[in-house]
Amino acid sequence: MSTTETAHSSTESDASGLDYEETQLTLAPPGATRSDPERKRGPSDDHRPSDSSEGSANKPPEAKAQVVGWPPVRSFRRSALKSFTYVKVAVDGAPYLRKVDLEAYTGYQQLLTALEEMFSCFTARNYPNERRLVDPVSGTEFVPTYEDKDGDWMLVGDVPWKMFVASCKRLRLMKSSEAVNLGEKKQVRLREACPMLALGEFGKKEIKFSFFFWHPTWPVLIGTTCVGRCEFRWCPPWPGLADKDACDRL
């Protein structure tokens, strides 16, 4: 079990520079032998009764998955919850969508390989911090993006694989030309609630925010604060927002 997880962590290090296992909260001091990251509570694996007379008491963790009908969950419910890991995949310009089961893959590389095969016209090209797929005929590059649980469109590859599987609702292979600014952030200084200046052409996707500014000539800008810096993106006018007063009240 530990060898497989080491293999995972090396894949994820390639992906995001962030080792999933290293960021897991554990009870051990840093650098100590890693205990099972899946058990945040309760005893460590060593705490099983080793002198029990029952043969079945010392089942190794892997055996759990193979016990038929355990845990006792109706097959309807099992298959319904399983289907939550199937996500739709759309490709800009392709006439129909496909579906993939994210749990069938162990990492981003496998997923991209599968997408490559599925849409059969791409070859993968690896950039240092991104992955792109290329249509060899037209030379168009595609960037894999996904919609997460909050409804936001994100670049594939930023978060650890497991986190991605848990939050991805659907995939879209976006033409590079459209996606070029998805990852860009510009640093600006906030000037006491005065109208902000547009800082140039940004990506078109909406992102959720907590305050608005209105300027008579610039389109509405919306922004949010996070610790240490502000990120601002260009956004089409928010539907229903007719005037500056309404905006200020929000």
Partner 1 sequence: MTYFPDEVVEHIFDFLSSHRDRNNVSTVCKAWYLVEQLSRLRVFVGNCYAVRPERVMARFPGMKCLTVKGKPHFADFNLVPHDWGGDALPWIETAARCCPGLEELRLKRMVVSDESLELLARAFPNFKSLVLISCEGFSTDGLAEIATHCRGLRELDLQENEVEDHGRQWLSCFPDSCTSLVSLNFACLKGEVNTSALERLVARCQNLRCLKLNRAISIESLIKILARAPNLVELGTGSFTADHRTEAYQNLLNAFYKCNSIRNLSGFWDAAPRYLQAIYSICSSLTVLNLSYAPAIQVNDLIKMIRHCFKLQKLWVLDSIGDKGLAAVACACKELQELRVFPSDVYGTGIAAVTEEGLVAISSGCPKLNSLLYFCHQMTNAALITVAKNCPHFTRFRLCILDPVKPDPISNEPLDEGFGAIVKSCKDLKRLSLSGLLTDKVFLYIGMYASRLEMLSIAFAGESDKGMVYVLNGCKNLKKLEIRDSPFGDAALLENVGKYETMRSLWMSSCDVTQGGCKALAAKMPRLNVEVINEREESDEMVENPSDMHRVEKMYVYRTLTGPRDDAPDFVWTF
Interface positions with partner 1 (CB under 8 A): 38-43, 47, 49, 52-54, 56-57, 59, 64-65, 67-78, 80-82, 84, 149-151, 169, 206, 239-240
As measured in angstroms, the least distance from the Cβ of 186 to partner 1 is 24
Cα distances (Å, whole numbers) of residue 150 to 92, 144, 195, 235: 22, 18, 28, 18
Which residues face 148 on adjacent strands? Answer: 168
Q: Which is nearer to partner 1, 5 or 14 (CB)?
A: 5
Q: Residue 248 belongs to what H/E stretch? A: helix 244-249
Torsion sign, CA atoms 180, 183, 188, 194: positive
Among 192, 243, 198, CA closest to 218: 198
Nearer to partner 1, 49 or 228 (CB): 49
From the CB of 123, what's the least distance to partner 1, in Å? 32
Indicate the residue among 83 and 123 with the shorter CB distance to partner 1: 83
Q: How far is the CB of 140 from partner 1 (least distance, A)?
A: 25
Sorted by sequence, the CB contacts under 8 Å of residue 3 that are 6+ apart come out as none
Least distance in angstroms from the C-beta of 71 to partner 1: 5
Beta bridge mates, 170? 88, 147
User: Shortest distance, CB of residue 240 to partner 1, whole angstroms?
Assistant: 7
Question: Which C-beta is closer to partner 1: that of 77 or that of 191?
Answer: 77
Return the number of the residue (59 or 185) whose C-beta is nearest partner 1: 59
Considering the complex, state which of residue 150 and residue 248 has its C-beta at the smaller distance from partner 1. 150
Angle, nearest 10°, between helix axes 2-16 and 108-119? 70
Minimum CB separation of residue 171 from partner 1 in Å reads 15
Report the residue number, 122 or 146, with the smaller CB distance to partner 1. 146
Q: How far is CA 142 from CA 56, 87, 113, 176, in A?
A: 52, 18, 14, 5
Residue 223 near residue 231, CB atoms below 8 Å:
yes
Minimum separation from the CB atom of position 151 to partner 1 (A): 5
Categorise residue 217: left if φ over 0, alpha if ψ from -120 to 50, beta otherwise.
alpha
